Amino acid sequence: MSHHTQRFVNLVNDAKANIKETDIDTIRRRMDAQENFMLIDVREESEYAAGHIPGAVHMGRGVIERDIEKHIEDTSTELVLYCGGGYRSALAAESLQKMGYTNVISMDGGFRGWREAGLPIIHDE
């Protein structure tokens, strides 16, 4: 957290108090079991193209609130969001809940943790 400002960290912590979070191991196990949920990468397009979790769809943090209803009309669909480390996904999860999505989860650790765990990554190069 040292490279983030205190105000940003406070904002994220406030969001985390209002959302559900999960961890990388849980998502990996759920994917292996072929459980049904939508995995959404909320990082920037260039980050997604450089590498993302298999099966993830891209809806960047800057546009997810604008675009979510075009892709996911059913507000009860289970959505698992991830970003680089879990901050942007927490903010996005809180926003989607405010929009009426009732089954939103942020993956703590994000893509960085997934990569560090040596789990599969897709590259769009």
Tens digits of residue pLDDT in 53-109: 999 999 999 999 999 999 999 999 999 999 999 999 999 999 999 999 999 999 999
Which of 59, 80, 83, 105 does the annotation list as catalytic? 83
Question: Does the CA dihedral 86-119-49-98 come out positive or negative?
Answer: negative
Is a pLDDT exceeding 90 seen at residue 1?
A: no
Does the domain formed by 6-116 have CATH 3.40.250.10? yes
Tens digits of residue pLDDT in 67-76: 999 999 999 9
Tokens of 53: 């979790």
Which pLDDT does position 4 carry in this prediction? Answer: 87
For the chain, domain boundaries: 6-116
Length of the chain, in residues: 125
Give the single-character DSSP code of 52. Answer: B
17 is catalytic: no
C-alpha neighbours within 13 Å on the C-beta side of residue 20: 11
The Cα 71–Cα 99 span in angstroms is 14
